[in-house]
Amino acid sequence: MSAISRFAAAPSLRRRLLGAAAFRIESLFVLAALTAAMALLSPYFLSVSNFLNILLATSVIGVLAIGMTFVISSAGIDLSVGSVLALSGVAGCLLMANFSLPWPLGVLACIAAGAAAGALNGFLVTKGAIPPFIVTLGMLGVARGFALVLTNGLPIYGLPDPIVFLGQGRPFGVPTPVIVLALTAIAAHIALSHTRFGLYAQVIGDSETAARAMGVRVERHKIYLYALSGALAGLAGLLFAARVNAGDPTAGLNYELTAVTATIIGGTNLFGGRGSVVGTLIGALIMGVLQNGLNLLAVPSFYQQMAIGAVLVLAVWLDRVNGAGRRP
């Protein structure tokens, strides 16, 4: 049994390049092809300012999709992100505009409101043993309704200047939300692919029994994951409110659809076990380019909604055909 000699095989170049990041290289080709097609179809597409527009439009969805990546990696799902976005934005704006809470606390309030809603999701999923699909679908209704109750259905105006800068400022010519997305993505990538926190999220999605047997505190970890998704929805809510300079209870309608789609196109396994923040960013950019291109081509937004839904189903179907989405 001289195993040592048989042991020297180095990882292939492909594996070295992709590493444990596990994002699908195909998604980059899709992004490139889509960009090329839009450039050919519209004379306005290829410009620095339009690319910054795409990034700006992607920033809110990108932040949501990053949180979604953690939850889906653990074989869960969070359908409440769009509603939690609205609730957190409204809660923060209400405190800042009507109760003159200082803006740094307002920022924290948005994130904390989202994290609280997310933690409640996680609590119900683990301690209540209710499927995540149902828990977060319920939260989708509850959080949206609560946002409407808080505001009487009307937007809240009068945000402090620093918040407006967060949404509309352009330090060094780059929109602030894009910078926030970039920083969030870097931190999230490190957390998912290089720390125990992210590894355990993926192992829980891979085999919950294995995680448990090896001493991972599965229940507690899941609560953290849903709280993280909620906190990022809160951050997205803040960015959204800052950009439109109002706390809007109808913000983020149907964003869960786009966030799930971006995550799945990026190569995160729908059934858990593998996730990639880099992939999710590419997925979010694909959605951004698609929407921007359709806008430039003057396609009505009703059709865009149809396109996003179709892309989601197509992505999962391609996964099935390739066998990549099935459990080994």
Partner 1 sequence: MSLLELDDVRKAFGSIEALRGVTFSVETGSVVGLVGDNGAGKSTLMKTITGVHRPDSGTIRFNGASLTEMDPRGIREAGIEMIYQDLALAKMRDVATNIFLGRELTRNVLGVKLIDQKRMRAEAEAMIAKLGARVQSVTQIAGHLSGGQQQSVAIARALTFNPKLVIMDEPTAALAVREIEHVLELIRALSAQGIAVILISHRLTDVFAVCDRIVVLRQGAVIADDPTRETSMNAVVAHIVGAADAPHQGARP
Q: Which of 94, 203, 260, 312 binds partner 1 (CB under 8 A)?
A: 203
**Separation between Cα atoms, residue 215 and residue 249, nearest integer Å:** 42
The nearer residue to partner 1, 10 or 129, going by C-beta atoms, is 10
Query: Which of 232, 234, 223, 172 has the alpha carbon at shortest distance from 197?
Result: 223
**Separation between Cα atoms, residue 227 and residue 59, nearest integer Å:** 20
Stretch that binds partner 1, among 60-68, 143-151, 188-196, 302-310 (CB under 8 A): 188-196
- 209 contributes a contact to partner 1 by CB under 8 A: yes
The interface mask with partner 1, positions 215-234, x = CB under 8 A, is xx------------------
Query: Which of 85, 76, 86, 52 has the alpha carbon at shortest distance from 156?
Result: 86
- 185 contributes a contact to partner 1 by CB under 8 A: no
Helix axes 301-322, 255-265, angle to 10 degrees: 30
Burial of 43 (0-12, 13-18, 19+ CB in 10 A): exposed
Decide: 276 and 202 in contact? Cβ < 8 Å: no
Stretch that binds partner 1, among 28-36, 82-90, 102-110, 212-220 (CB under 8 A): 212-220
Stretch that binds partner 1, among 2-10, 78-86, 87-95, 126-134 (CB under 8 A): 2-10
Amino acid at 183: L
The nearer residue to partner 1, 7 or 302, going by C-beta atoms, is 7
Q: Which of 127, 170, 196, 220 binds partner 1 (CB under 8 A)?
A: 196
The nearest distance, CB 323 to partner 1, in angstroms, is 12
Query: Which of 26, 52, 30, 27 has the alpha carbon at shortest distance from 292?
Result: 52
Binding site for partner 1 (CB under 8 A): 1-4, 6-7, 9-11, 15, 20, 190, 194-196, 199, 202-203, 206-207, 209-216, 269, 273-274, 327-328
